Amino acid sequence: MRSSKPKDFRSIPSATGGIARLACARLRELGKDVKAVLSKAGLRLEEADDPTARLEVRTQIKLLELAAEELRDDFLGFHLARSFDLRELGLVYYVMASSEQLADALRNAERYSRINTDGARLRFKLDGTADIAIDYVNVDRDSDRHQIEFWLVTLMRICRQLTDSRIAARRLKVRHSRAGSPMKFKSFFGTDVEFDADADEIIFPASIASLPIVGRDTYLNKLLRRYAEEALACQPELRASNHSRVERIMPQLLPHGRAGISEVARELRMSSRTLSRKLRDEGVTSDLLT
């Protein structure tokens, strides 16, 4: 399935650009030409250095890949996530850090993560296990490695820091490929990584959900959630593309050998012809859905 740049600005996801700025700082630290790398990604130095400017998520992903090549660091996202101050995440972090239990913190993250990026959705599910998943929205997941690894490492760091415990994952699933299972991942997460998986997901024992947050503060949390609701209301509503909806449904159908356009269209409650037309309108061909 091929995609082109969305025609409707509401389907172009953006982010605060914090990861991009961390990458630029690493480039500067090692004496690299930051301006040249930014130019290849289609960014100006002023944009990248402005903490108030939001960047297109696709541009951030491209910048991280270019920076990784320049730095010869195939694990750039992993390394950036290990070393930055979690407080740089801003309001969302402080809402989590003042929550009562880890489950509350993760539910707050699920609700408010769009403040930081509307190119991904965080999902928290507590049912036998405690699962934290990240779904990309209107972004080609296949184009990314570094950003998703950054977020998975960051989520694990947050869970450990907020509970002051060395919790380990039961399973870690990642959609993209890597040769083997890098030891640095196993050492950090406490489990082998399942690459080429059907989701980007950290799976914990259910017991971690009830761990108390060391900095919990009911009154502060109530105040911060009010600010977060106001910030969320100011975010432009991002319309999910049919392309992204198809990408979410296909992994559910593939294990059953049913991923043709008629099956996908049925799941989306529309006809095959309508789905094909809507995908064409978004610049996407349905070659693989036949």
Per-residue tens of pLDDT for the chain, all 290 residues: 333 344 444 457 899 999 999 999 999 999 999 999 999 999 999 989 998 889 999 999 999 999 999 999 999 999 999 999 999 999 999 999 999 999 999 999 999 999 999 999 999 999 999 999 999 998 999 999 999 999 999 999 999 999 999 999 999 999 999 987 789 999 999 999 999 999 999 999 999 999 999 999 999 999 999 999 999 888 765 455 566 666 666 666 655 555 677 777 777 767 777 777 777 765 555 554 55
Write the CB contacts of 81 (distance below 8 Å, at least 6 apart in sequence).
Answer: 149, 150, 151, 152, 153, 154, 157
CA-based end-to-end distance of the chain:
11
d(CA 69, CA 52): 27
User: Could you tell me which residues come within 8 angstroms of residue 179 by beta carbon, excluding any fewer than 6 positions away?
Assistant: none
Query: Residues 6 or more apart from 63 whose CB is under 8 A from it?
Result: 20, 23, 37, 38, 41, 43, 48
Q: Model's pTM, two decimal places?
A: 0.79
Residue 120 lies in a domain: yes
Q: Is residue 3 part of a domain?
A: no
Total domains in the fold of the chain: 3
| 75 & 165 share domain | no
User: At 127, which helix (H) or strand (E)?
Assistant: strand 120-127
Look at residue 281 in the predicted model and tell me its pLDDT: 61
* Within-domain flag for 4: no
Residue 140: which residues within 8 A CB-CB, separation 6 or more?
Answer: 3, 58
Residues 6 or more apart whose Cβ sits within 8 Å of residue 52:
none
247 and 221 assigned to the same domain: no
Q: Which amino acid is at 123?
A: R
Residue 36 belongs to some domain of the structure:
yes
- Domain assignment present for residue 1? The answer is no
Chosen domain end from 79, 94, 109? 79
**What's the Cα-to-Cα distance from 278 to each of 29, 260, 275, rounded to whole Å?**
46, 16, 5
Nearest to 203 by CA among 237, 167, 236: 167
Query: CA-CA distances (angstroms) from residue 103 to 120, 134, 158, 164, 224?
Result: 20, 16, 12, 15, 17
What gap in Å lies between CA 189 and CA 152, rounded to an integer?
Answer: 9
> Are residues 191 and 227 part of one domain?
yes
Domain boundary among 79, 104, 127: 79
Q: Determine the distance from the C-alpha atom of residue 43 to the mean position of all C-alpha atoms in its chain, rounded to a whole number.
A: 21
Q: What is the residue whose two structure tokens read 């929550």?
A: 99
Residue 289 falls within a domain, yes or no?
no
Q: Do 224 and 93 belong to one domain?
A: yes
Of residues 44, 66, 70, the one with CA closest to residue 55: 44
Let me know whether 194 and 211 are in one domain.
Answer: yes
Query: How far apart (Å, rounded) are the C-alpha atoms in residues 125 and 103?
Result: 9
Going by DSSP bridges, is the β-strand pair 120-127/129-136 parallel, antiparallel, or unpaired? antiparallel
Q: Are residues 226 and 257 in the same domain?
A: no
Q: Residue 77 is inside which H or E element, if any?
A: helix 76-83
Asked whether residue 132 falls in the same domain as residue 193, the answer is: yes
Q: Which of 43, 58, 79 is the last residue of a domain?
A: 79
Place of tokens 């998975």: 152
SS3 category, 1? coil
Residue 95 sits in the same domain as residue 75: no
Is 90 in the same domain as 198? yes
For residue 228, tell me if it sits in a domain: yes
Asked whether residue 287 is assigned to any structural domain, the reply reads: no
Q: Are residues 107 and 123 in the same domain?
A: yes
Reduced to 3 states, what is the DSSP secondary structure of residue 78? helix
Provide the token pair at 219. 């009154």
Tell me whether residue 170 is exposed, middle or buried, using C-beta atoms within 10 angstroms of its C-beta: 0 to 12, 13 to 18, 19 or more: middle
My answer on whether 92 and 208 are in the same domain is yes
- The backbone torsions φ and ψ at residue 117, rounded to the nearest 5 degrees and listed phi first, read -155, 135
- Identify the domain containing residue 123 by its residue range: 86-233
Q: Kindly state whether residues 97 and 227 are assigned to the same domain.
A: yes
